[in-house]
Amino acid sequence: MISLFVAGIIIIVVSFSGKTGIWVENLMGWERSGGGLATSRCDLSSGRWVFDNESYPLYSERQCTYLSDDLACEKFGRRDLKYQNWRWQPHQCNLPRFNATALLERLRGKRLVFVGDSLNRGQWVSMVCLLESSMPSAHKSMHKNGSLTTFKALEYNASVEFYWAPLLVESNSDDPVMHRAQDLVVRAESIIKHARHWTSADILVFNSYLWWRNEKMKIWWGSLEDNDGLYKEMELVRGYEMALSTWSNWLEAHVDPNRTRVFFMSVSATHQRGDGWSTRREQNCYSETKPITKERYQNIYAFDDNRMVKIITMVIDRLRERGIKVQMINITRLSEYRKDGHPSIYRKFWVHLTEDQLSNPKSYADCVHWCLPGVADAWNELLYAYIFYK
Give Dmax over CA atoms of the chain in angstroms: 72
Q: Cα–Cα distance between 190 and 292 in angstroms, integer?
A: 41
Active site residue 344: no
CB burial class (10 A; 0-12, 13-18, 19+) of residue 226?
exposed
List 194, 271, 342, 369, catalytic entry = 369
CB burial class (10 A; 0-12, 13-18, 19+) of residue 327?
middle
Task: Write the CA distances from 10 to 20, 22, 108, 197, integer angstroms.
Answer: 16, 10, 24, 37
Q: Cα–Cα distance between 323 and 172 in angstroms, integer?
A: 33
List 70, 118, 133, 271, catalytic entry = 118
Task: Write the CA distances from 66 to 32, 53, 100, 149, 290, integer angstroms.
Answer: 40, 24, 16, 11, 27
Active site residue 69: no
List 70, 117, 174, 366, catalytic entry = 366
Active site residue 304: no
Q: Cα–Cα distance between 235 and 290 in angstroms, integer?
A: 37
Query: CB neighbours of 239 closer than 8 A, spacing ≥ 6?
Result: 186, 188, 212, 217, 219
Instruction: State how far Cα 249 lies from the chain centre.
Output: 23
Instruction: State how far Cα 196 lies from the chain centre.
Output: 22
CB burial class (10 A; 0-12, 13-18, 19+) of residue 12?
middle
Residues 212-221 as b or e (16 or more Cβ within 10 Å = b): beeeebbbbe
Q: Which helix (H) or strand (E) holds 170?
A: strand 170-171
Q: Active-site residue numbers?
A: 118, 366, 369
